[in-house]
A and B are shown apart, each in its own frame.
Chain A
Amino acid sequence: IAGITQAPTSQILAAGRRMTLRCTQDMRHNAMYWYRQDLGLGLRLIHYSNTAGTTGKGEVPDGYSVSRANTDDFPLTLASAVPSQTSVYFCASSDARGAPDTQYFGPGTRLTVL
């Protein structure tokens, strides 16, 4: 059982380019999340999905979009990357069927936008 996988592991991207970060979970969790982690700021929620077919905005959604076509996959797209989107991106999932609803994290994608 892999848990949560993310791809790519790292990427260097020119500003203005489009990029999709992939996230797949095999735990049949209902809810999935995308966070970015920046030094000194901690993890901040970008977008989330409580169940397949639904998505919602987190704390820092601007410049990002997501889709949730099925239970397992939750891709994050940067339509036109900017240097301020340089960060480490973590995908997470949770069962969302009651407390504590613990979130489990993927290994992360390190993205550099030049």
Chain B
Amino acid sequence: GQNIDQPTEMTATEGAIVQINCTYQTSGFNGLFWYQQHAGEAPTFLSYNVLDGLEEKGRFSSFLSRSKGYSYLLLKELQMKDSASYLCAVKGGDYKLSFGAGTTVTVRA
């Protein structure tokens, strides 16, 4: 089976940086995705990592270490609109996505 762990909640101040960690144990690996989901809305794609290292996309960056089964999503210069749930998802050997339970980030003024 697949096991994907991420913290349940995080709180940060507007303008700060927050790092959301994700650890995984899966049968095979074909990429790791991060999605953002605002309350009551659909998940939207943020980033994709398949090789080790850092992928940067504006204020958001995602890191992957396949040997450690570890990823993080880094949110810089936090804005109020970044308050949302962030979902870590791993594509396993069967090419199906398995999702973590999500991390709810609250940005405070």
A residues bordering B, Cβ < 8 Å? 35, 40-45, 48, 58-59, 90, 99-108
Per DSSP, chain A at the interface is: loop
The 8 Å CB contact of A42, one of B31, B33, B45, B87, is B87
Contact A107 B101 (CB under 8 A): no
Query: What are 11 A-B contacts with C-beta separation under 8 Å?
Result: A41-B101, A43-B87, A43-B89, A59-B98, A99-B50, A100-B48, A101-B95, A103-B33, A105-B42, A105-B44, A108-B42
- Given the complex, which residues of A lie within 8 Å of B99, measured CB to CB? 35, 42-44
Contact A104 B87 (CB under 8 A): no
Contact A90 B45 (CB under 8 A): no
- Given the complex, which residues of B lie within 8 Å of A40, measured CB to CB? 101
